[in-house]
Chain A
Amino acid sequence: MQTRFISKASLRGLVTAMAVASIGGAAFAQATAPAAPPPVSDLVRKQAERSKQDVNLRGHPVPPIATPRDKLPMDKIKVPEGFKVEVFATGLAGARMMLLSPKGTLFVSTRTLGRVYAVTDPFGKKEVKTIAQGLTLPNGLAMKDGALFVTANKQVLRFDDIDATLDAPKSVDLSEKFNLPGDLSHGWRYTEFGPDGKLYIPVGANCNACEVNYGTHAHIRRYDADGSNMEIVARGVRNTVGFDWHPVTKDLWFTDNGRDWAGNEGPEDELNMLPKNKTGASFGFPYCHANKVADPDVVRPDPCAGVILPKALMGPHAAALSIKWYTGDMFPAKYKNVAFIARHGSWNREKKIGYDVVMATEKNGKVKVEPFLTGLLDEKTNSFHGRPVHILQLKDGSLLVTDENNGAIYRITYDAKAKTARL
C-alpha cells in the first residue's frame, strides 16, 4: 500500500520535524518535579509484604494467539476411567464463556482479548467467525428470545436474531439502562438468564481487599432483560465468575474467588449457595472470608455476623470459576446432580494449585470436592499446560470445557462399553 511510495528521505524529514517537539516533552516532564515528596499510598502493596508470600508472584499472560491443534496438551489430561477427552474446537484465542444457541451456533467469549466468536456448525465443519472485537473484557454471554447479550465491563450489547446475522451482526447498546460500573479491577462478568427470566450480572470488588459499597460493588445483581428493575441478590461477593441453579432445589450456587496477598494458604475460594428465601444476603467480603477467616486489613467487629458461609472450600487462590450441575444421561448415575467446577489455576500462590475440573457432590447438606479432570498442572515443575474456564453441558450429556490458555474447547464423553472392554 502507501508504504511503498514513501521515500526514505520523506520519512526522515518527518522524523526531524517531530524531533523538534521532543525538546518540549523533556521540559514538560521536568516541570512536574514536586517541591517535597508526598507520602506513598501503599496500602495495596504492603499487604504483599505482610503476607510473607514471594513478592515476585505475578499474573499469567493470556496468549492472544491460539495453540495449534497438534500442540494442545491432550496427552497430559487425565479423567476417570471410561471418560474420554477430545479436542472439540481450536482457533479460539483467549476462549472463556460458551453459549450454544437453540439454533445451533456456539458463541465463545474472551476476556482481555476483547473478541466474541461464533462457531457455526459446531458439530460439523466448525467455522470460526469473530462477531465482535475491540470490546473491554467481554466475558459475559447470555441469550433470550434469539438475542445474544454480551456484557463487556460497563457495556451491555444485545445482538437481536444473532444466528441469522452472523456475517453482519448489529447490536443495540443497553449500557445506559444497565448502568454498570466501569472499573477494570474484577471488571469482567459471568452472566446468565436465571429460571426467573432475569439477567444475572455480578459486579466484583474494585480492588483486591478494601471497603466496598455494596450498592455498587461486590455483589450479584439481576435485571429484566431491558435493563430495568435492578435488584441485588447477593452481597459481600468478592468476584464470582460462575454460577448455576441447582436442578432440584433451584437455589443459586456460585463460586467466589478469595483475596490475594494474605498468605499462600488462604483465604480459600468459596462454593456458595444462596437459598431462595435469602435474597440480598451477605457472603462476607471484605470482612469475613471462607472458614470464618477475618480479613487482616479490612476490620470490623464480628466480621462474620449474619454472613452465609460457603458450602465448600475450593482451594486457596485456585480461581474456581464455572460451576455446572450435571443433569445429563451420558455419565454414570453417580454423576447426576453433581456440580462440575472449573478451576482456572492460581497466580498468587507459590506452589501452584487448580488448573483442573473438580466435582462437588452434595450429600445430607455436606459437600465433598474431588478431582475430575487433571494433568494440566505439572506439580514437579510448578508449571501449567492449560487453564479451564467454563463448562457447558450438551444435549447428549457430554461436557465442553474452554481452555483460555490454549484457545481451545475440549469435549468430555463417557463410554460404558469402552470401560467394560478394558476390564
Chain B
Amino acid sequence: MSRKLLSTLAPPALALAALLCAPASAATLAEQVETCGACHGEDGNSRMPRLPSLAGQPNFYLMNQLILIREGVRKIPEMEALAKDLKDDDILALAAHYAAAPSKRSEETPDPALAARGAQVAASHHCASCHTPALTGQEQMPRLAGQRIDYMVEALKAMRDNRRTSADPLMVETVVGLSDQDLAALAHYAASK
C-alpha cells in the first residue's frame, strides 16, 4: 500500500472510530477499555498504523497524557470526543489498567541497520537517562521499547518541528536538529528493544 493511499485511508477510519466510541464518564472501566481497545488494541498493544500502544506505559505518563488530551493541551482531533468527559478518577483507573497490561511488540519489523544506527543516536543523546536503559519509560517519560515505529517516527518529527506543543521542552531540546533519518533510526532502535 502506498504512503499516499494510507494517509487517505486512515483519517476517515479514525474519525469513524471517534464517532462510534465515546466513553461517557458513567461507563465502567471495562466499557472504557473496550472503547480504547478498538483502536489501541484489545490488550493495549496497537495494531493500527500510527496509533500508539498503551500497554506497559508508566502509570504517570498515561495519566498525564490523558489529562493533557482531555483538555486540548495535547491536540489529537480523533481523541477529543473520547476524552473530553473523562473524570480524573476515570483517567486514574485507565492509567492503572494500561500500566499493568503486558507490552507486546507490534507486527512491524525493525530494520536491523536502522536499529543499529538508532542505538548510536540514542547513546549520544542519552535517551536512556529519562526513558531508562531498557527504554521502558518512567514517570512522565513514555515507554519506547516495543512501541510502534510509525507512531514514534511521527511523534519525534512533531516534537522536532514544534508541532507537538504539549511536549516536554527538555525533550524538544534533545531532538531539535536531528535529521529524518536519525529520527527513523531512533524509532527502529526503540521498537527493537
Contact = CB atoms under 8 A, between A and B. Distances in A.
Interface stretch (A50-58, A367-375, A392-400): A50-58
B38 A29 contact: no
B21 A6 contact: yes
Interface residues of B, number: 85
A42 interface: yes
A187 B176 CA distance: 15
B155 interface: no
A65 B31 contact: no
Given A1-B27, A55-B126, A61 B139 contact: yes
Nearest to B150: A25
A191 to B, nearest CB: 18
A64 interface: yes
Nearest to A6: B20
Nearest to B14: A18
B131 to A, nearest CB: 9
Q: Which of A31, A37, A59 has the most CB of B within 10 A?
A: A37
Nearest to A113: B73
Interface string B97-109: 0000000001111
A208 B173 contact: yes
B38 to A, nearest CB: 5
Q: Which of A14, A23, A187 has the most CB of B within 10 A?
A: A14
Contacts of A15: 37-39, 42, 47-48
A32 B184 contact: yes
B125 to A, nearest CB: 5
A183 B48 CA distance: 31
Contacts of B1: 21, 23-24, 27
Interface stretch (A128-136, A192-200, A228-236, A291-299): A128-136
Nearest to B169: A184
Interface in A13-49: 14-15, 17-19, 21-34, 37-38, 40-46, 48
Interface string B121-160: 1001110111000000001110000001110010000000
A74 interface: no
A114 interface: yes
A23 B9 CA distance: 12
Contacts of A43: 177
Contacts of B178: 41
A19 B47 contact: yes
B6 A21 contact: yes
Contacts of B170: 58-59
A172 to B, nearest CB: 20
Nearest to B125: A45
A46 B124 contact: yes
Given A14-B17, A184-B162, A29 B37 contact: no
A29 B67 contact: no
B174 A44 contact: yes
Interface in B3-60: 3, 5-6, 9-10, 13, 16-17, 20-24, 26-27, 31-32, 34-35, 37-39, 42, 47-50, 60
A24 B2 contact: yes
A208 to B, nearest CB: 6
Contacts of B184: 29, 32-34
Nearest to A110: B73
Contact of B73 (A27, A56, A114): A114
A186 B2 CA distance: 39
Contact of B88 (A65, A184, A186): A65
Q: Which 10 A-B pairs have the closest CB atoms?
A: A25-B49, A134-B72, A24-B1, A1-B24, A114-B73, A61-B140, A24-B6, A42-B124, A34-B181, A25-B150
22 contacts: A1-B24, A3-B21, A3-B24, A11-B20, A21-B10, A21-B13, A24-B1, A24-B6, A25-B49, A25-B149, A29-B111, A34-B181, A40-B125, A45-B125, A45-B174, A65-B63, A65-B67, A113-B67, A114-B71, A114-B73, A184-B162, A184-B172
Given A3-B21, A15-B47, 20 more contacts: A1-B24, A4-B31, A11-B38, A22-B106, A25-B108, A25-B150, A29-B187, A32-B180, A32-B184, A40-B121, A40-B182, A43-B177, A57-B129, A65-B92, A113-B71, A115-B71, A137-B165, A184-B162, A184-B165, A185-B176
Interface of B: 1-3, 5-6, 9-10, 13, 16-17, 20-24, 26-27, 31-32, 34-35, 37-39, 42, 47-50, 60, 63-64, 67-68, 71-73, 75, 85, 88, 92, 106-109, 111, 113-114, 117, 120-121, 124-126, 128-130, 139-141, 148-150, 153, 162, 165-170, 172-174, 176-182, 184-185, 187-188
